[in-house]
Amino acid sequence: IDAAVTRALAEDHGRAGDVTSIATIPEGMPARAVVVVRKAGVIAGLPLVAATFRKLAPEIAITAHAIDGTEVATKTALMEVEGPARAVLAAERTALNLVGHLSGVATATHEFVRRVAGTRTRICCTRKTTPGLRALEKYAVRCGGGFNHRFGLDDAMLIKDNHIAVAGGIRAVLERARASAGHLVKIEIEVDRLDQLREVLEVGLADAVLLDNMDVATLRKAVEVVAGRFPLEASGGITLDAIAEIAKTGVDYASSGWI
């Protein structure tokens, strides 16, 4: 949080700071602000709002009326801020950018989760995140009721089609991955055809399979073929309009970069 807030304020304040507030607001003048919801949704990022204001004025008084992960209505007051007017004005946009963006992620995730209610499917994020904000965006996914996929290239093996092509095929790439992986490292492999899925089953070295851009009928067949032997993740074409039918196929996870 501190790194993200520091980076964002430095970007906004540049070399001279908030020249408008410095020129027009007397030093020491107090101000009070209220953070209010403009559109109903799920909140994420309130700790960043507080951190942004306190970065410019450690003595600022902050009263929170909601917590992250809460579903709120339009015009809900989330937080009150009281302190030096220059600091309040100089931090305002950065604070709102952070909470608005993260709440958007949480709200989008929540809508996906709502549409798969009653099924076994869990909604996951991907690595398609804003550079430098991944940890925060993945936190917002959890605020919306979703689950996190891997955080980076280093915490799990995800063998994609390019890896398969370069390594010389499904058997070769899985054998190399398993020989290298520690006992706590999971191996997931991407397939886009049922014959590839059957080959993965035959080799038997994967912990999970990503079903890439398969239509609903093919996803349903994939679930039948695997019969619960390992988790299946649907990816590609995961939209709000399609997610309910995708979940009905019985896949364990659906990962969306859109959220």
Is residue 93 flagged as an active site residue? Answer: yes
SS3 82: strand
Identify the active-site residue in 212, 220, 221, 248: 212
Tokens 């089609």 sit at which residue? Answer: 161
Identify the active-site residue in 7, 39, 120, 160: 160
Nearby residues of 194 by Cβ (< 8 Å), 6 or more positions away: 218, 221, 222, 225
Residue 251 tokens read as: 């896949």
Is residue 128 flagged as an active site residue? Answer: yes
Identify the active-site residue in 18, 92, 188, 190: 190
C-alpha span between 209 and 193 (Å, rounded): 12
Is residue 193 flagged as an active site residue? Answer: no
Identify the active-site residue in 128, 155, 193, 215: 128
Q: How many CB atoms lie within 10 A of CB 24?
A: 11
User: Amino acid identity, residue 120?
Assistant: R
Q: How many CB atoms lie within 10 A of CB 19?
A: 12
Is residue 114 flagged as an active site residue? Answer: no
Angle at 73 between CA 71 and CA 75, to 5 degrees: 135
Distances (CA, A) of 166 to 90, 173, 199, 240: 51, 9, 17, 34
Is residue 160 flagged as an active site residue? Answer: yes
Active site residues: 93, 128, 160, 190, 212
